[in-house]
Structure 1
């Protein structure tokens, strides 16, 4: 009984918090897209990770960059307020980002990619090089080797049962050690806050597991990193259990990317927030 009361209180608070963001909507060739657009200055668009949405995107940008930047945080396909098209590929997501920039009148932007948002962000930089000032890869996956679906090992998305409000609430409340192991670091409460409610994110999470997270493997030929002309900054922890540093190290050498590499911190680069923010600021100031 007490547990049910706590759940009802917590999930109600999560929906209230979630619905309190000031969002905007546009129509793209793939349907509706919801996004947050705040601030002035150099434009920075983020391609958010799994369990994300405009709230995770915006909060990530707020934690990475100062107020003197224009922060653009769209929900990717199937995430809160954004439609799920027939073909929700990273390539089409990149084109939807282009639609957004066109309607906002933004000629060039910096792109930050995080985790599951890597494929669509990297695809944007490859497909639309004239619209990019710089690429910032934060705990991101990168093209590595060609694989078939059968050759891809391990889970590419969360268990289905977890992608519902009560199981996610219960897991974050009482089994936080599971997420600690998954991310390779302590999890700040603000991270959990952007994972709940999970139900409005369900379609996007499922597509990430089925399509997004394997696209750079099975369609490796569509991610020619030699076509990336924009300056690149890599931010990564060597002990990240979700996006292996070995792959990123290879990418850095192939692209001559700038980098800020941390020995510890896991997938969230925990404990190095100030260093991450400073590296991003320095990169943007150097490029512009």
Structure 2
């Protein structure tokens, strides 16, 4: 998957930033909180398969896409459709992680004929009990102090195991992940990449927290083939309240349950996820 620079397209709903790479059937990649096109393409590199064209976006409030381009999941879904119009892409497979789930599901509902398949990794399936903590408000101010952000990035990189242990609590899974060179290169893009242009990721993250606290969806009306990927021990988006609900509510949805997996399970359980995604992509749409 060759590396290239992102582009920005001005749509009738506003600008949207994206990275377009590869060739073949199109897969639209949608990042989560503190993300951007860089994390969308990392999602593709982590669990995607060769032989596809990947369109990795920055959702509203992230990097080069202003929040005004789409505040709600519905608006974000329509913005994605506008992007596809501009790229002259008729149909896509949609792959989303974490906070990218609501807009992905709305795309499957609102643009059903353009959504061939839907892959949801660690995404919300019911209103989350998340309130914006005071610490986040402090963080949003600190994120604008570039020397401090650079210092935090250096400290995180210097204490990588300690930093990762906050996301991977199981010592054995952590050790295995640390010794997987390929996975670590991908994980570091997410862990350290969020420090780059951090201030440009804050508005979208704040909006995502707001959305997750009130998100509901007509899951039973999603008719496209769907794969749910979720860790059994996800502390941020618990399986029982999210992944399980999605798997039981979306007609015909397939579930890839990652035993012991937490919110970063696509990295810690990468082989299992890659196989599930590959098998799902290879299935013929009836």
TM-score normalised over the length of structure 1:
0.80
Counting only pairs closer than 5 Å after superposition, residues 137-148 of structure 1 correspond to structure 2 as 137-142=120-125, 144-145=126-127
Question: In 1, Cα distance between the equivalents of 2:24 and 2:228?
Answer: 22
Residue segments in structure 2 that go unaligned for 5+ positions in a row: 178-183
1:198 aligns with 2:182: no
Deviations 1:114-137 (A, max 9, x none): 011112111211221111111101
| Residues 23 and 36 in structure 1, CA contact (< 8 A), matched pair in contact too | yes
Residues 50 and 279 of structure 1: CA distance in aligned 2, closer, same or farther (over 3 Å)? same
Q: Name 1:281's counterpart in structure 2.
A: 278
Question: In 2, Cα distance between the equivalents of 1:87 and 1:50?
Answer: 15
Question: In 2, Cα distance between the equivalents of 1:137 and 1:120?
Answer: 11
SS of equivalent residue, structure 2 residue 234: coil
| Residues 156 and 214 in structure 1, CA contact (< 8 A), matched pair in contact too | no
1:259 aligns with 2:255: yes
Residues 88 and 199 of structure 1: CA distance in aligned 2, closer, same or farther (over 3 Å)? farther
1:166 aligns with 2:160: no
Counting only pairs closer than 5 Å after superposition, residues 193-232 of structure 1 correspond to structure 2 as 193-194=189-190, 195-196=192-193, 198=195, 200-209=197-206, 211-220=207-216, 223-232=217-226
Question: In 1, Cα distance between the equivalents of 2:223 and 2:133?
Answer: 32
| Residues 110 and 135 in structure 1, CA contact (< 8 A), matched pair in contact too | yes
SS of equivalent residue, structure 2 residue 268: coil
RMSD: 2.7
TM-score normalised over the length of structure 2:
0.80
| Residues 59 and 204 in structure 2, CA contact (< 8 A), matched pair in contact too | no
Question: In 2, Cα distance between the equivalents of 1:155 and 1:178?
Answer: 21
Q: Name 2:240's counterpart in structure 1.
A: 246
Name the count of aligned residue pairs: 261
Instruction: Single out whichever of 225-234 and 80-89 deviates more from structure 2.
Output: 80-89
Counting only pairs closer than 5 Å after superposition, residues 91-130 of structure 1 correspond to structure 2 as 91-130=74-113
Residues 134 and 56 of structure 1: CA distance in aligned 2, closer, same or farther (over 3 Å)? same
Q: Name 1:181's counterpart in structure 2.
A: 166
Residue segments in structure 1 that go unaligned for 5+ positions in a row: 1-19
| Residues 45 and 112 in structure 1, CA contact (< 8 A), matched pair in contact too | yes
Deviations 1:159-200 (A, max 9, x none): 335635225414523555355324546473533334436352
Shift of residue 84 of structure 1?
A: 2.7
Shift of residue 154 of structure 1?
A: 6.9
